[in-house]
Amino acid sequence: MSFLARLRQLFEPAKTEERTAVAGGTQTGAETPPMPETGRGSTREAADFEALEELLIDAGIDVETTMAILHDVRKGTIGRPTVDQVVGRVRAQLAAALDLDSALHVDGSPAVILVTGVNGVGKTSSIAKLANMLKDGGMTILLVAADTFRAGAIDQLAVLGERIGVPVMRSIEGQDPSSVVFNGLQKAIADSVDVVIVDTAGRMENKKNLTAELQKILRTIETKFGRSPSEVLLVIDATTGENALMQARAFSDAVPVSGIILTKVDSGARGGSIIGIARELRIPIKLVCDGETMTSIKPFDKDDVVNMILLSE
Ligand SMILES: Nc1nc2c(ncn2[C@@H]2O[C@H](COP(=O)(O)OP(=O)(O)OP(=O)(O)O)[C@@H](O)[C@H]2O)c(=O)[nH]1
Ligand SMILES: [Mg+2]
């Protein structure tokens, strides 16, 4: 059952009716007035709020946002809130948490976009989708295969680049990722390319190596080319539960993450943890991927993401 359906079930009028009937009342559901502030009403309200709190936490919503929602629902209603009041306040708080600068910055010549994330979240495919989107917008792109941990990763980017008609700076397995980025940027400058998008490894011998490599790539861009990436994007798989927040914390501790690409929202996403990331780390979602085709990418839309969370099972 979706988060929204469970919310509705918790606060639906029928429940009030049933409870009132048990208590000896005769009112009918839809017209049931709010419960008076009696001792019994307060106990029931407390139980409702406890259930609401449980529901929000269970949906992956962070504690701070959960508390803000409970506070809003309490302060805005006298007696028992209606379903629509509760849903409206949940929506408003989720939207407020997501209210960050979601514009994708592609400044610089070339602009550099570094794409990071743990293995399997959708980095390489999102890069191809993003390149395709920017190319359609009239920009020239170079993809850089700086995930040199696996030969397969290099081939995957090369195949996708060919499919969308975007050149790829290839590498060889085991090559220093920073040297690939250096070569790529040199080529991009020589060819007057608008945007360089760098694929990175999601898996290494250990996490320390992974973040050290990212930091080295950033240093190379800074020291050799005197610039910073216009975006450091972290890819988060929307089907990941609370681990998503831990991933975001770890990456943003290591590198200046400027935005999130939220992937796999088409695959039964849970997604609630994205709210904690936005609220705690102030990292905006910039792009959303919802399928496996090269056009399954779109700029972040607040209502879409709020709906995704509300409709998640
Ligand atoms: N349904 C769906 N599948 C996706 C989406 N994005 C990526 N995938 C799939 O997820 C799998 C992993 O995607 P990759 O792009 O290879 O992920 P990665 O992060 O580059 O993986 P590593 O290079 O191994 O770290 C592939 O099978 C993709 O087709 C999406 O938005 N929707
Ligand atoms: Mg990859």
CATH code for the structural domain at 111-311: 3.40.50.300
Atom of ligand 1 nearest to the CA of 150: 23
Q: What is the pLDDT of residues 180-201, one digit of tens each?
A: 999 999 999 999 999 999 999 9
SS3 content of the chain, % helix, strand, coil (to 5): 50, 15, 35
Q: Which residues are registered as beta bridge partners of 281?
A: none
Mutation test residue for ligand 1: of 125, 130, 295, the one with most atoms within 8 Å of CB: 125
Ligand positioned closest to the Cα atom of 210:
1
Distance CA(60)–CA(260), nearest Å, equals: 17
Q: If you measure from the C-alpha of residue 211 to the centroid of ligand 1, how many angstroms do you get, rounded to a whole number?
A: 20
Output the pLDDT for position 313. Answer: 78
Q: Name the residue at shortest CA distance from atom 1 of ligand 1.
A: 291
Q: For tokens 């849970």, name the residue.
A: 270
Distance, in Å, from the CA atom of 290 to the CA atom of 298, rounded to the nearest integer, reads 8
Lowest mean per-residue pLDDT among 54-68, 91-105, 135-149, 159-173: 54-68
Instruction: Tell me the one-letter amino acid at 133.
Output: M
- In this structure, which ligand is nearest to the CA of 120? 1
Residue of 126, 200, 292 with the most ligand 1 atoms within 8 Å of its CB, for mutation: 292
Strands (E), 18-148: 111-116, 141-146
- Who lines ligand 1 at CB under 6 A? 117, 119-125, 147, 153, 202-203, 263-264, 266-267, 289-292, 296
User: In 10 A of CB 276, how many CB atoms?
Assistant: 22
Mean pLDDT of 216-223: 96
- CA–centroid distance, 118 to ligand 2, in Å, is 9
Distances (CA, A) of 157 to 50, 123, 131, 166, 179: 48, 10, 11, 10, 17
Checking if the pLDDT of 260 tops 70, the result is yes
The proportion of the chain whose per-residue pLDDT surpasses 90, expressed as a percent, equals: 67
Q: What average pLDDT does the chain have?
A: 88
